[in-house]
Chain A
């Protein structure tokens, strides 16, 4: 079967020799390389490309650019590489592309959803606020699911995206957004001064309007040729980066611009090394916005049928892609520029049915040029309606305000309501727009960042003026001359003839969301006066094109209805992004392993070799437990606990935060930052310290060792390390800057191997040189510098298990080697490796608290039973005043206590809530909660720690932990469950 081609021989700039094949809804089509999906389909005579959001009306492509509201398609290479909601007017065709239409069932031509169109009188703007309320449950159960299914456009991908994306931070002197006449001129002007320039354009080719506007001459040449010449000059300059297929999507604070570069979406078989898209995060000294203008449609009855499109789009399809959008084309315009489309098409041999111009006195030059070609020009006329089911077939034309309707057969209708300056980036930069009343448009007012708007987006209409403005913006001395046939101003905004307030026609303002002029009037009738309310009530401008075509029309219709001037009604703020940006692009490298750094200790690989299961603690991977064959977690933990208490256990404590506090005022500083007193601590000794914030609540804890008079080795919790150091630095730099002390993070300098248990000393002794490890010489809470396996080490005699314990700190690179030797000796003596879970159990048996688990930022040292750690003698420390506030010294505060379940086999749930009266109806009075709960293998029963109101006064009391299916009785005890006398720790 041969298909009719709408390709015009000799027209356009594509090369017929290079073709690509693609499918659209299962049918195969041929395109030229360089075609967009829209131009390729149009070349094949296909106009029907989509269905609208609400009424499922048949829609064709309206534009040839990023403003496209109708022709949204699904583009796929394969099942995983599938992208919904792509603008057919922007997507390049590539060989093998699988294109599907959206929001229709079963087919694009026959869509059952179109029933909504018949029901549209019911579905007026905001109708859903007024109904679906009865019965009460029906909204969520019945109505909402129906509405949700009908709404939405494309179908989200079902598979993980196999493509990758990249990021680049960049700096430049000048960033130029838009490579049309103005942007190219400005970029060249700037580049010639030697400035670092980045020039971006969203299209595949530079030129902007010159791509369709073949009548403009610049420097004596056709504009397009001039543009390509400027491009090659720019590309040859080392200080210039030209990025095409790149959208400047967001203009953020302090001249920070986000760019999205599409690298592979146009390639048939992209190399695996290529990122699909690249995010550029650019900091520019100056931003030149040369973003042009967008042609408006005309708002009249049934202005949305396939075949109806913007005049400039038809011109681009002809002059760039060599495609005629129809065989008998009508034009409906309020602006001279549309005549050029008719003239170009006529020259290409296409019949122009008529140019209908709602103005009585259009530009004489264009009218006479059109008439000279034999085109019928009807001035002071309007198109009142159109007909045609899946393609426009006729337009009804009448003189303004008069009778004499005439129906003219057409297969395409080109519209132009004039041009709206693209002030999106300027608005995003937080510049305030000013209304140009004479020309009915918003223009950039004062630029509040280092930016400047030039050309059409700045309302500069006259080409010589534009060129001068652009050259000046670039800062150079470039001089470019040019001339064009018409300016960009004029046209109309708001409803056209026949779509006024007295009518009930569907004159679309926002195509994608099916917002009509009458919807906007309804919003006003219902009391919506601010444009923001009107927008939200009607959803005008909230579709995926974000109002690029609809905003000004909506505003004008609302202003007319309200009897106000346009600026009084306001303008909605333009938000980033200018066009939608793929999440993958914004994420760039941050996925998989690079999503968030997984910090691994120097011993990690050794632990993994020994079969460790790991858990996430902050960014760290910590060994959780070491299951042997056939063991589950509880069996492994029970074995580890038992072995540690009976023999010894070996534990990787490297993640513990470490801060070296050095200087003559080190002790003085620690006195201020911890609740304890430090000047009494002698070199070679350690002390457990508690840190509170100024509010008196526990912030962190850890053992602090004094190595010499002026050097402390401070440890923090694993998760607390960065914030504790920041907290210390804050006080040091801001409140106590005169203290002679410095802080250095040494968390990662040391690999820390904890050996705990009765045989701990036996295990490490042979590896340690230069230190007497006996109880007498090196008692509990000692620290010393020594040599372990020939490397300088810091040895702590500390315990978080209640057993005799050592923590060996060796320089990190030696950690694995020392660990292996210790494990070898440990194995020989019957020791085990243990992880964080066993560590938790062992410390709970001893009633040692874990900040962040047993405390939560609302617990004072006294609440935790550590009142002894708060110095009563110091005149000052951080937290001294906060601790004295009324609520912190009141009776009945929650205090940490032990809990023993009446049934010793019952292990409480961490997070279980505690009550005194289990039979109280809800809401119950909760006394506190279980913070830690474990099976204690050592004790042969469960144990728990809890925060309980007035807990220390409740010793022996029975309380209850009501669970979903049962209530657990518990007895309040002290927190030390094992070795209450504490003898074991001293060996």
Chain B
């Protein structure tokens, strides 16, 4: 299976990074070939947290299957649930109440901010600075509290259900979100002081893990990782769902294609997400939060594909229905899986430390890759 010899014919060292390694953020296993400090080949070995969610979902009803997707990309669990709900709604042609749409989009964007905050801390940790992690968690905690109040859970929410959302928002929701926006805006300069402007950080990321736009498209790199190479791929802009087409926001792209460009995309995306929330938070319409649906949902025979933009990129749910109460086949197109496939191309020729910076800026969530 894995070469235990340690060296190959050329005298290169073969090292197992992971499955237990501090910077693989979980159970990713990379077999890397090192020539001195220079990376010659990176080969991911997956499956340490493979739960075959696609097979599981084949035996779950259309109300049940979306809770499992929270366990895929646990940092954007809301958005995953959202994608599932959208697919079912598309199949059943349910009209979602306006209030539910607003709530969904606000929560999506809050999730995106929370995910980017955690990524920011974890990236700094990959590069050897521990302190940023705690600063980012301080702000993330506020989002978690908002989620806990409204959704009843902090990470795996299962709040967005086919037809709308599970409960109405908490009475304090708007106040808390506005408070968070104010706090976070006053704290975001710390992010730049501590990490972005730091000369060591810039040297560690600029020109590291370069991928061209053509390659990024070919590898299917979406989300901030793809946009860092100038690939315009924001599903919220290209294939607007819910009410993203009525909102004013920019799609952030950087032309650099290196780790620093991907870093800047995420930092600037947090500001855009705050911008979106600000447009919505005061205008949540009154009314129902959940459309009337049948007790047992049955999707008509056919194929349904929904794409949404998670914090990591384009997430697709592909349901093939035979008309029953459970999906015949379900496929999740996870952004991390495609992003990871480019890792070898991006890190060859760099140093071992560059590999960690590249992995950090790809923002890998391993359950999302393994599913």
Please indicate whether A and B come from the same complex rather than being unrelated chains.
no
The chain B residues found within 8 Å of chain A, CB to CB, are: none
The chain A residues found within 8 Å of chain B, CB to CB, are: none
